[in-house]
Amino acid sequence: MKKLHGKVAVVTGATSGMALATAKLFVEQGASVFITGRRQPELDAAVQVIGHDVTGVRCDSANLADLDRLFETVRRERGKLDILFASAGYAAPGPTLGTITEAHFDQNFNLNAKGTLFTVQKALPLLQDGASVIMTGTMATTKAVPGLSAYSASKAALHQFARVWSLELKSRKIRFHVISPGPINTPIVAGLTPGQVAGYEVQVPFSRMGEPVEIAEAALFLASDDSTFITGTELTVDGGISLT
C-alpha cells in the first residue's frame, strides 16, 4: 500500500522547487493534496505538473484572510487534514548589520515566522490526532552566512515552534518537524552565476547541489507512519554543508 493512502495534505508555497516536488510525491504516494501559491498562473501550472488528486488555492501565507480561505476550502472539500507542510517562505540575500531596513526585516519575519505560525494555528481544527506538521527551515540557522541574519533568525523561530508545540499538542499526538535544506537546485539557483554555484558546491562534502526530490523524500518520511515516534526535531538535508 502507498505510504500516504487516504491522507489529506496541504503544501504551501508549492508552485516550484522543493515544495512542488513534495506535493507531487505525496500524490504519488496516495494523498489528496491542496497546494498554494501567490500567483495564479504559476499555481495553475503546478496543478498541471502534479496531474491528479490536487487542488490549487491561491494564498499568501502572510495574509491571515487568505489562510482562512485556504482551510475553509479544505474543510468543505475533504473535512479533515492529516499532513501540513508549511513550506511558504521568503529567502533572498540581504544587507549586513548597519544597513538592514525595516522592510527587509518584515519581509522575512512576516512570512517565515508569523506566516508559518498562523498557517499551523488555523489548520488545527482540521488536523487529525496523530497528524504530521512539517516546516521548512534552513541550514543557515546553524551555519553563519553574512547577509542572512534576518532570514536565518526568522527560520530559527521554527525550531522552537516545533519543540514547544510538540508538548502543547502531545495529548493529540500531533508531530511537529523542521526540515532544514542546504543548497538545492531550485529556480532560485537558476539565477546564480556558474561561479556562485561552484562556490556552494565546493563547501558541500558531497561536492554537488541537492535536488528537490531529495527534500521531498525526507518530507515523505516525516509525513508518513514511518516517523510516528519522532517529534520536535530537525532533519537536516544539506549534504553536510553545515559541518564545514
Active site residues: 151
Burial bucket for residue 6 (CB in 10 Å: 0-12, 13-18, 19+): exposed
Which residue type is seen at 187?
P
User: CB-based contacts of 75: which residues, under 8 Å, 6+ apart?
Assistant: 125, 126
Cell of 197: 554555484
- Contact indicator for 151, 140 with CB cutoff of 8 Å: yes
- Contact indicator for 23, 50 with CB cutoff of 8 Å: yes
User: CB-based contacts of 102: which residues, under 8 Å, 6+ apart?
Assistant: none
Torsion of Cα atoms, 99 then 195 then 179 then 18, to 10°: 110
Q: Residue 233: left (phi > 0), alpha (psi -120 to 50), or beta?
A: beta
DSSP state, residue 126? T
Which residue type is seen at 173?
K
Number of Cβ within 10 Å of residue 154's Cβ equals 26
